[in-house]
Amino acid sequence: MSEKCEWLHTQLEHRRTVKYPFSLETLPENGVYFFYELGEAWGHGGDKPRIVRVGTSKDGNFQSRIAEHYLLDETKMNFNAQRSAPHDRSIFRKNIGRALLNKHKDNYLNVWELDFTSHKAREEHASQRHIEKEKKIESEITQLLRNKFSFKYIELDSRTPRMGKSGLESALIGTLAHCPLCKASEDWLGKYSPKPQICEGKLWLVQHLSAKPITEQDKETIQNAIRASC
């Protein structure tokens, strides 16, 4: 498994690293993205950065997915008790917020866990929300993402299966999750996550961690995508 993890990291060295600020128009409509985090190194020798998250999107939504993670539309900070906050549109942001709140033993974690995109949740729990507190947490998440995280991506044809158990995303996650050499640093924020899949692991993910690793066919798909982009 470690060989496949090293292979994946090495192949992605051929792709440019995207850091904030960046132009959404330079990103593809479809693909898979790989997030890196300052302070997190791979386990295959040296101090090269390790992948801490893999993600994709529904057809045509790649740019909007990245925009949600980085909160490029800052008008979305104008939410209230009857409108969902940015972390309800990005599980990546939600997971970072969970770790921040848990690190400080903040009971607001119970409210943060609720999904306010649901009308029922807004009806039943709006009175529990502390909007100014949420905005402060959202701002901290945004600064962390913009200052400590970067990403690479591969562009894929819309016909290439990406999502779900049979998609490339799950195989990539399985490859990284099962590598015995890549580990989280002692200072990794994810260690404070209330989600055992994150705090006991090394990825900002809870799904597909036990998926089968990439196949030779997957490798060919990845290499072709990288060649087409160079």
Q: Which residue has the tokens 């906050």?
A: 85
CB contact set of 55 (below 8 Å; sequence gap of 6+):
32, 33, 35, 65, 92, 169
Residues 172 and 140 in one domain: no
pLDDT digits (tens, 9 = 90+) for 160-177: 778 777 789 999 999 999
Residues 225 and 156 in one domain: yes
Residues 56 and 81 in one domain: no
pLDDT digits (tens, 9 = 90+) for 115-145: 999 889 899 999 999 999 999 999 999 999 9
CB contact set of 113 (below 8 Å; sequence gap of 6+):
98
What pTM value is reported for the model?
A: 0.95
Average pLDDT over residues 2-26: 97
Residues 208 and 185 in one domain: yes
pLDDT digits (tens, 9 = 90+) for 38-69: 999 999 999 999 999 999 998 889 999 999 99
Q: Which residue has the tokens 């440019």?
A: 16
Query: Containing domain of residue 185, as a range?
Result: 2-71+152-229
Number of Cα atoms under 13 Å in the Cβ half of residue 35: 23
CB 204 within 8 A of CB 36: no
Q: Provide the pLDDT for residue 199.
A: 98
Q: Provide the pLDDT for residue 74.
A: 94
Rounding to the nearest 10 degrees, give the CA dihedral for residues 53, 70, 12, 46.
-70
Q: Which of 123, 146, 169 is the last residue of a domain?
A: 146
Mean pLDDT score of the chain, rounded to an integer?
Answer: 95
- With a pLDDT cut of 70, the percent of the chain lying above it is 99
Q: Which of 96, 116, 146 is the last residue of a domain?
A: 146
pLDDT digits (tens, 9 = 90+) for 16-27: 999 999 999 999
Q: Which of 122, 146, 170 is the last residue of a domain?
A: 146
Count of structural domains, the chain = 2
Residues 164 and 188 in one domain: yes
Whether 159 shows a pLDDT value over 80: the answer reads no
Residues 83 and 181 in one domain: no
